[in-house]
Amino acid sequence: MALLDELKTIVGAAHVLVDTDTAKYDHDWTGKYQATPIAVVRPCSTEEVSAVVKACAATKTPIVPVSGNTSLAGGTYGKDAVMVSMERMNDIREIRPDARIAIVGAGAVLSSIHEAADAHDLVFPLTFGAKGSAMIGGALSTNAGGSNVVKYGSTRGLCLGLEVVLPDGQIMNLMSELHKDNSGYDLKNLMIGAEGTLGFITSAVLKLFPKPRAYATAMVAVREMGDALTLLNDLQEATGGLVEAFEYMDALYISDHLDMYPKARAPFEDRHEINIMVEIGATAPNLTDLRDDGTLPLTELLENTLGAMLEDGRVLDASVAQNEAQRREMWERREAAGEVMLIRKPMINNDICVPVDKVATFFERIDEQLAEHDPGSLHTSVSHLGDGNIHFLLFPTKDDPAHIDRLTELVEDVTLGLGGSFSAEHGIGLTKKPSMARRKDRVALSVMHAVKAAIDPDNIMNPGKVLPQVN
């Protein structure tokens, strides 16, 4: 009670939620992890965050940062902890068009950053299905990827600077606006992807980019997965590297999407096993200025490139968006993946990454292994194919923990055998700690533990997440 009283003094009684008032925060998006925290505290400034952390540190009370709570790996599980929500720290302080940067609070919702940048004919290119609720602090904490990594890189590459509250309440100012700063250890990138286990991100300096003056978007079907990589490389060559998104959806996903959204249209008249959504964007007037007949050179470039591939058999079918409504329809199909993934139970959610030229091999090998170990299982994939990130959803025949563990290890075996990673963009949280224990280099784990112990000796910052015990 003394701690709660102190927290109320810091942020105001209305912003210290307890008991049933924490219901909005006490579970992750999937509903897998649920626990009532000691309290949910909603500070409105970095100074308040610092004071909250100091109060919790004095009593060694665990602290769990929470942003949009769209976690897919249990990273915001808050049992016996004070959850600190960033929702009131949602300010977009500056958009500096000439420098092409945005300075924002960690609670800024991704779509709000998009809108603020758009007002200056700029883009912040990080995008994914939960953009309407996900906050930049959470995206930074998990080093989120999204659909535009193929051109712009993941969140780490889109951030110039950070402000971080450390586990003892000190405020570390890393709010650099520089593209080059080689002054010592790269503490910014140490905090990005740490999932709140080393400190509390409160503000960020983000990179902005010129807004494409036009987009050309299409759904494309190919015969084999290897053809998809050829398609990507050919499109990059034909467009001078203008591919912004290259997203894969298999036939089962398309079917499940239509079941969940009966008013939606299928991408093609015929069913295809490999469906690709590709988008290219351009700023150059020679590609983006409408001709007198109303045609757009960028769209014509995509149509001609795909047409040549149709003629020589590299592409089975293609549909190019002719207006913004058709483009949005294609994006909505892809961005519904979060909801569609929950259509079947039980489900093993694998967020893996392999080298882009090994994606086809991954599917070949995993099918061989599943035929032996769980022949009745189903799987579906929605993937950021341009960067090798596969969201491989496996539906086993038995809801048995031992069986699920075996299949999870099987996926890991195939993935790591191809030089891949068992975690690409969703974070480790609680879900992937067993994978960390099995698969992460032992020396690397030891170094991670040493870093954690040095920065957070009392283990109060998001304890129990990310790091397994090292034997």
Quick one: 97 and 184 in the same domain?
yes
- Note whether 152 and 72 are same-domain residues: no
What pLDDT score was predicted for residue 75? 85
Residue 441 in any domain: the answer is: no
CATH number at residue 295: 3.30.70.2190
Last residue of a domain, one of 56, 85, 114: 85
Residue 184 sits in the same domain as residue 253: no
What is residue 74's predicted lDDT score, i.e. its pLDDT? 83
DSSP symbols for 51-63: HHHHHHHHTT--E
**Residues 171 and 107 occupy one common structural domain:** yes
Q: Distance between CA 350 and CA 421 in Å, rounded? A: 10
Residue 315 lies in a domain: yes
Examine residue 413 and state whether it is found in any structural domain, yes or no.
Answer: yes
The answer as to whether 379 is a domain residue is yes
Chain Cα centroid distance, residue 42:
24
308 and 247 within one domain = yes
Residue found under tokens 């709000």: 112
DSSP state of 321: -
- Which structural domain range is residue 15 located in? 2-85
For residue 218, tell me if it sits in a domain: yes
Residue 412 has what DSSP assignment?
Answer: H
Do 310 and 380 fall into the same domain? Answer: no
CATH number, position 361:
3.30.70.2740
Give the whole-angstrom CA distance, residue 346 versus residue 181: 47
- Residue pointed to by tokens 């007002």: 119
* Of the residues 210, 230, 246, the one at which a domain ends: 210
Beta strands in 90-208 (DSSP E): 92-96, 101-105, 122-123, 159-165, 171-174, 200-207
- Based on the domain organization, do 104 and 174 belong to the same domain? yes
Q: How many domains does the chain have?
A: 4
450 in any annotated domain: no
Our CA dihedral for 308, 314, 320, 326, rounded to 10 degrees, sits at 180
In a domain? residue 455? no
Distance CA 103, CA 90 (A): 11
CATH code of the domain containing 60: 3.30.43.10
One-letter amino acid identity for 158?
A: L
3-state helix, strand and coil shares in percent for the chain, rounded to the nearest 5: 40, 20, 40
Tokens of 266: 């299928």
242 plus 353 within the same structural domain: no
Q: Are residues 31 and 79 in the same domain?
A: yes
Residues 231 and 325 in one domain: yes
Give the relative orientation of helices 46-58 and 2-11 as an angle to the nearest 10 degrees. Answer: 170
- The parts of the chain modelled with pLDDT lower than 70 are 471
Helix H segments across 276-323?
A: 285-288, 297-311
pLDDT at 350: 93
199 and 184 part of one domain: yes
CATH of the domain at 123: 3.30.465.10
Check if the beta carbon of residue 274 is closer than 8 Å to that of residue 203.
no
**Same-domain check for residues 354 and 393:** yes
Judge whether 440 lies within some domain. no
For residue 29, what pLDDT is reported?
72
Strands (E), 166-213: 171-174, 200-207, 209-210
Average pLDDT score over the chain? 95
pLDDT, tens only, 294-311: 899 999 999 999 999 999
Domain edge (last residue) among 306, 337, 368: 337
DSSP labels for 218-253? EEEEESSHHHHHHHHHHHHHHHTS-EEEEEEEEHHH
